[in-house]
Each structure stands twice: as structure tokens, then as C-alpha cells.
Amino acid sequence: MKEKEVIGMIQMRKLIEVILSIILIISIAPMQGFAMEKDSVHTLSKEQQTVYNIALKSILNIDSSAKFNPENISYRDVGDIVNQVVEENPEIFYYNGVTVISDGTIIFKYNDSKKNIIQKKNKIDTAVKKVMNTTIKKKMNELEKVKAIHDYLVLNVEYDYKNYLNNTVSDDSYQVYGALINKKAVCDGYSKSMQLLLKKAGIQSFYVTGTANGENHSWNLVKINGKYSHVDATWDDPVPNKKGIINYNYFLLTNKQLEKDHYWVKSNYPTATSENYNYFHNMNNMIERNGYYYYSNAQNDILYKMNKSSKKISKVVNDRAPYLAICGQWIYYSNYSNGGNLYKVKLTGKEKMKVKNFHVINLYTQSNVLYYTVKSSGEIGRIEL
């Protein structure tokens, strides 16, 4: 073979390689519900873990691109790994897809400028630190941490209901920024924020995607004392929003309990079987004080209390009290056994008395002030306590 022919063949081979490197490109949009293995946040080979770490570092730095070794892993597998990074790190609220090239190049897409993303990240970091400092105490056990985070989200985030009805929900409402900064979110905003806060509190959790009542939905799977339970903070937040009210119907459920109205690919996640916390499901509008849970019984709204340690239950007063608030040693409640009039009673169940002679709802306290809504007019009333 002549020298010119050899050189020509070499040049042609290089040209083909260049063409192939251009052709072998895969673009992947953000995915929801990446399948996670059994009892670990992610199960990856050594090579996959290397790409995972590269992608995580690059996205956290808001880098436009990164490089991996295409001899160790197929470029076709990198997109799924990147999606897993995003799935397991809810602080990444700005990811908007990825393009992977067979030469080992990863090109990341973001939904905003780097400057704006950094500003939002700083706001989220500040908000997370504030939540941790105000809701998580040193001596809290795992259950108490999960409950504190669940309660914080329900009390401080409003479901973005109007925009949901009008199909105008913003991107922020699907992310932690909507829940923690704007205080408005849909299910993704709640569940990603819970995942982030649980992570900061040292609680292992999964962001679970599926459907509920036939619509796309997300919630969390949390690990307490070595066992898993489902938590759907979105469905525990009344819609339309009712300030000061927390439900526990979807707090720490088993697979069997949740599957009545939720659907998800169960093989993708650990199984929730613990029934240790079923007592929460009998509590409507519960308030925790001085080692007790005070609540309206789910069956008939009668006012009860439960000792947190012994789990002993006792009746506070034989009145129906679907709305209640606590300030100091007093429970204020809407007495549905007497026309919904505003009453108060000591935490001990003694010294019951009427406060207002009209029907009130939506009770809550803030800075030693009791707020209530007059049922007939919708007027907001207040009492200095």
C-alpha cells in the first residue's frame, strides 16, 4: 500500500471518529421518580459513583459542563446518574436537563442565570439554618425531629391552590424555593423541602413519586428507629389554607395504609411496615405541650390528651372541639357541643368557661394573641392573652 493511501486512510479514520463523537449525543430532560435500590440512597458501581460525584460537584458549583472517562462508563448511562443526583439532593432546584456526548463531555442546563441561582441558593441556605435552629432541639429523638419538620411545613407553607386550579403554578412552587422562601408550593415543593430538612437533621428519607387520586403526586418515605414510614405533608395541610391547623392523617403510614389512595412503584423503595405511630391518625388538629399531645378525636372531635412517654390517653373535657389553640395553661376551643362558641379550659380539664357567645373557627395563637374567625361573617377576631 502506498504511503499516500495509508495517510488517507488514517485521515479518514480520524474524520469518522470526529463524526461519531458529534453524532453520539444524548439529551435528557429532568426526570421524576428515579428508581432507587432497596435500603440505600443510591447503589452504584465504582465507575458510576465516580460520575455521580463529578456531576454532584459540578451542579452544586453551577458549572456549565464536566468531563468523565468514556472508557469506564457508557455515555448512555450518565443521564440517569445525573437525574439520580438531582433526585437525592433537593437543594438542586435549578437543574433543567443534561446533554451527554460520547467523548466524555456533560453539558448541564439550568433554568436561570448563575447570578440569580446563587442569590436563591443563599436565601435557601439562610432559611434552612433558621428552621434548624428554631425547630430542631439537641435532645430530640428521630420521631420528634420528623414531626417538627412536618409541622413546620404544614404551618408555614400554603398549598398553591389558586394557581393549581388555573394551571399557572410557577416553577418555584415545585421546588424548595417555593416552600421555604415564597411559602407557597405544590406537592413537590413540600416533599423536596421535607427531604432537604430531614437530611440536615440527620434523618434518612426518600423523595417518592407516584399518583394520588389519579393525579401525579410526591411525598416522603422516612426512616425512624430503623423502620420506614410514609409522610405526606401536602395532604396534612388543609386546603384552602387554615392557619394554625395541622392534620396527621398522612403522618407515618405503612404501605398498606397509604396504598388506599396513593400509588407508586413499590419495588423502587423500601417497604413501610411499622405501625408504631398509628395513634397519630386518631388526632385532628393536635397541639404538643409539656410532654402531652392535645387533640380533637378523629371519630367525634372530643378533646383528649395523650402522654407522649406512656401513651396513656385521657379526656380533657367532654366537648366537641374541632378547632383549638393553646396559650400558657389554657386551651381555647370552638365548642361544637354548644353552638361553636369560644370556650377555654385549663390543660388539666378544669375551670371551663365561655369566652365568646358566637360561633368561631380557625383558632391559632401568635405572640400571645389568640386569633379566631367568626363563622357567620368571616371576620377575624383577636384576644390579647
Q: Per-residue pLDDT tens for 68-115?
A: 999 999 999 999 999 999 999 999 999 999 999 999 999 999 999 999
Long-range contacts of 328-335 (CB under 8 A, 24+ apart): 328/385, 330/385, 331/294, 331/303, 332/363, 332/365, 332/370, 332/372, 333/303, 333/363, 334/359, 334/360, 334/361, 334/363, 334/372
Number of domains within the chain: 3
* Same domain, yes or no: 124 and 242: yes
Mean pLDDT across 175-204: 96
Residue 123 has pLDDT above 90, yes or no: yes
pLDDT band at 243 (very low <50, low <70, confident <90, very high): confident
Residue 282 lies in a domain: no
Residue 308 has pLDDT above 80, yes or no: yes
Cell of 143: 420521631
Where a domain ends, among 211, 242, 276?
Answer: 276
Distance CA 158, CA 241 (A): 6
Residue 287 lies in a domain: no
Alpha-helix runs per DSSP H in the chain: 3-23, 46-60, 75-88, 114-135, 142-156, 161-166, 176-177, 187-200, 255-258
Residues in contact with 204: Cβ distance below 8 Å, sequence separation at least 6, in sequence order: 41, 198, 222, 223
Residue 189 lies in a domain: yes
Residue 54 has pLDDT above 70, yes or no: yes
* Same domain, yes or no: 157 and 99: no
Give the 3-state secondary structure of residue 325: strand
**How many Cβ atoms from other residues are within 10 Å of residue 234's Cβ?**
25
Tens digits of residue pLDDT in 312-356: 999 999 999 999 999 999 999 999 999 999 999 999 999 999 999
Sign, Cα dihedral of 84, 85, 90, 95: negative
Do residues 282 and 299 touch, judged by C-beta distance below 8 A?
yes
Q: Tell me what pLDDT residue 20 has.
A: 45
Where a domain ends, among 76, 110, 144?
Answer: 110
* Same domain, yes or no: 102 and 118: no
Distance CA 331, CA 155 (A): 19
Q: Tell me what pLDDT residue 209 has.
A: 94
* Same domain, yes or no: 132 and 240: yes
Where a domain ends, among 59, 87, 110?
Answer: 110
Amino acid residing at 339: G
Residue 370 has pLDDT above 80, yes or no: yes
**What is the span of the domain harbouring residue 178?**
113-276
